[in-house]
């Protein structure tokens, strides 16, 4: 369990102290990582003072006084909710998203809105520099990206500033940045966590979940969002027969070692040839158009930071509402394949990403082409299944890489427990030293 969470529960640290420290570090380190959109100082400190007053029943609140951040497509009342867009930089909403309400009822305190790509990356810009705050930097190496559209939450957690943050995923945007940043990421089952008050990308695929410094913290947060369900055992794990294709050799070695450390029986599985990545993307395109038709049609160029996003929006509109008609025919096949697999194994495993993080100025297409085993990521998105990534080791450049488990609907807690046994506990210690350099680099990086 997080040192901050444990200290708060033991009353060795006050909520006001925890929140103040988080705000101060976010204002310095977080901003230099381009991870912070806005700080919620007045709101957060008021809630911290209330937590320190120990209202009746406070001892039963599982996250009392714990600071967290929310990806900036998640509404927080009275704070800007920009969706990563310059055109919405000053937009303030008047109601909290359901996840923020649930976490604050559990005692947690939202201290910041955290960076995201424009429209949560839905428009497939060619570079990682498509956020209102600039490219979000990886705490392990400041020249590398923190990941896709939940990069702000991942960077803030990986830097040791926050015990957890809330991100969203449509096709990988919790799992990928968590892997790149050497932390735990949980993609819940579809509809396990409410999405009210969260910008839609593709509602049939969208999830809301935690990026956390440990599986224990992720489990506690998930319990506050979805209720404490059973911990289903994971004794047999399916591994794709050709999982190592296109994977960095160091990542492959780390994945093998992490799998072996978990103690589960490993079973080889053969992945179908179905184009699930393309199918999931077409579903995203069609549903993004349905959700944001007016914005994509009418926005002026200055509304976006990334020069290509307006053109991409126009291309989406041109595809029309039937873009995913044929793609959706794959969904029952994918659901049936997973059902057959889970009759024999308790989970499926693959390297979360084939390498560590790419450079912030890289052309994304050169890095995000799916490796063979990532079929499970897009197929899991289409089937609405949960996934968990934990640090497995480092790639050939010394950057974090992850191991991902996918399981049956509703098996989040079992996946977290199994992943914890495979977690490479030494990996996250490197990033704290790297981020501390930010304090000495003021003249080199703004």
**pLDDT tens for residues 330-367?**
999 999 999 999 999 999 999 999 999 999 887 555 44
CA distance 394 to 402: 8
pLDDT level of residue 127 (50, 70, 90 thresholds)? low
Q: Are 236 and 408 in contact (CB under 8 A)?
A: no
Look up tokens 């085993």; give the residue.
373
CA–CA distances in Å: residue 343 to residues 238, 339, 387, 408 = 11, 6, 18, 10
Q: Which of 424, 407, 420 is nearest to 188 (CA)?
A: 407
CB atoms within 10 A of CB 439: 11
Write b or e for each residue in 79-92: b if 16 or more Cβ atoms lie within 10 A of its Cβ, otherwise e: bbbbbbbebbeeee
Q: How many CB atoms are closer than 10 A to CB 57?
A: 9
Does the structure show a pLDDT above 70 at 369? no
pLDDT exceeds 50 at position 429: no
Mean pLDDT value of segment 139-166: 95
Is residue 433 very low, low, confident or very high in pLDDT (cuts 50, 70, 90)?
A: very low
Q: Give the strand pairing for 400-406 and 347-351.
A: antiparallel
Report the sign of the C-alpha dihedral through residues 437, 70, 393, 271, in that order.
negative
Judge whether residue 314 has pLDDT over 90.
no
> pLDDT (tens digit, 9 = 90+) per residue, 24-51?
999 999 999 999 999 999 999 999 999 9
**What is the dihedral sign for C-alpha 359, 361, 362, 364?**
positive
**Residue 150 is among the residues annotated as catalytic for this protein:** no
Residues 292, 287: Cα–Cα separation, whole Å = 8
Helix (H, G, I), strand (E, B) or coil at 39: strand
Instruction: Exactly one of 173, 179, 204, 374 is catalytic; name it.
Output: 173
Q: Are strands 67-71 and 109-114 parallel, antiparallel or unpaired?
A: parallel
More confident residue, 52 or 444: 52
Structural tokens at position 336: 């049936």
Q: Is 173 a catalytic residue?
A: yes
CB 102 within 8 A of CB 209: no
- Residue 187 main-chain phi, psi, to 5 deg: -95, 105
Mean predicted lDDT score pLDDT of the chain: 90
Q: DSSP for 172-208?
A: STTHHHHHHTTSEEEEPPTTTS--TTB--S-TTT-EE
Residue 113 pairs with which residues in a beta bridge? 38, 70
Give the pLDDT band (50/70/90) at residue 210.
Answer: very high
Q: Measured between alpha carbons, how far is 376 from 36 in angstroms, rounded to an integer?
A: 31
CA distances from 51 to 8, 45, 243, 350 (A): 10, 10, 48, 41
Q: What is the DSSP letter of 370?
A: P
Say which residues have a Cβ less than 8 Å from residue 403's Cβ, sequence separation at least 6: 254, 255, 258, 259, 349, 350, 351, 352, 389, 390, 391, 392, 419, 422
Topology adopted by domain 3-184+433-440 = Amidase signature (AS) enzymes (3.90.1300)
Strands 137-138 and 387-394: unpaired
Percent residues over pLDDT 70 in the chain: 91
Domain ranges of the chain: 3-184+433-440
pLDDT of residue 329: 95
Instruction: Report residue 119 CA to chain centroid gap.
Output: 15
Highest mean predicted confidence (pLDDT) among 8-17, 118-127, 217-226: 217-226
Q: Would you call 71 a catalytic residue per the annotation?
A: yes
68 falls in which pLDDT band (50, 70, 90)? very high
Given 38, 71, 113, 374, the catalytic residue: 71
d(CA 282, CA 72): 24
Closest CA to 27 of 7, 6, 41: 41
Which of 131, 148, 149, 204 is labelled catalytic?
Answer: 149
Distance CA 399, CA 408 (A): 30
Rounded Cα distance between 380 and 374, Å, is 10
Residue 394, SS3 per DSSP: strand
CA angle 203, 341, 265 (to 5 degrees): 120
**CA-based torsion, 310, 312, 314, 317: positive or negative:** negative
């Amino acid at each position: 369990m997080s040192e901050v969470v444990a200290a708060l529960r033991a009353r060795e640290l006050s909520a006001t102290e925890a929140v103040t420290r988080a705000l101060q570090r976010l204002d310095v380190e977080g901003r230099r990582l381009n991870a912070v959109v806005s700080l919620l100082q007045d709101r957060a400190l008021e809630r911290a003072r209330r937590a320190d007053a120990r209202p009746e029943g406070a001892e039963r609140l599982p996250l009392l006084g714990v600071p967290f951040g929310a990806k900036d497509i998640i509404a927080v009342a009275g704070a800007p909710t920009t969706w990563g867009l310059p055109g919405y930089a000053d937009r303030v909403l008047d109601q909290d998203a359901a996840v923020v309400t649930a976490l604050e009822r559990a005692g947690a305190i939202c201290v910041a809105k955290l960076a995201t790509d424009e429209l949560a990356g839905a428009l497939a810009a060619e570079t990682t520099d498509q956020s209102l705050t600039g490219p979000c930097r990886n705490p392990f190496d400041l020249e590398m990206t923190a990941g896709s559209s939940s990069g702000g939450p991942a960077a803030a957690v990986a830097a040791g500033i926050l015990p957890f943050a809330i991100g969203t995923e449509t096709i990988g945007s919790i799992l990928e940045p968590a892997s790149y940043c050497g932390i735990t990421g949980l993609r819940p089952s579809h509809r396990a966590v409410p999405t009210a008050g969260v910008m839609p990308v593709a509602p049939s695929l969208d999830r809301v979940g935690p990026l956390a410094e440990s599986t224990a913290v992720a489990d506690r947060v998930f319990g506050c969002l979805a209720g404490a369900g059973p911990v289903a055992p994971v004794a047999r794990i399916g591994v794709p027969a050709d999982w190592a294709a296109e994977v960095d050799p160091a990542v492959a070695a780390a994945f093998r070692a992490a799998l072996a450390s978990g103690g589960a029986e490993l079973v080889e599985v053969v992945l179908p040839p179905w184009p699930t990545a393309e199918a999931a993307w077409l579903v995203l395109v069609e549903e993004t158009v349905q959700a944001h038709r007016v914005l994509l049609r009418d926005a002026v160029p200055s509304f976006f930071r990334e020069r290509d996003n307006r053109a991409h929006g126009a291309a989406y509109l041109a595809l029309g509402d039937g873009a995913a008609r044929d793609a959706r025919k794959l969904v029952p096949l994918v659901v049936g394949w997973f059902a057959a697999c889970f009759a024999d194994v308790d989970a499926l495993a693959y390297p979360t990403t084939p390498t560590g993080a790419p450079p912030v100025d890289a052309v994304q297409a050169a890095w995000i082409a799916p490796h063979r085993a990532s079929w499970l990521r897009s197929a899991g998105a289409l089937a609405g299944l949960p996934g968990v990534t934990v640090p497995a080791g480092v790639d050939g450049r010394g950057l974090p890489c992850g191991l991902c488990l996918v399981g049956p609907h509703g098996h989040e807690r079992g996946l977290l427990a199994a992943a914890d046994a495979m977690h490479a506990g030494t990996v996250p210690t490197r990033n704290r030293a790297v981020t501390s350099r930010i304090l000495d680099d003021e003249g080199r990086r703004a």
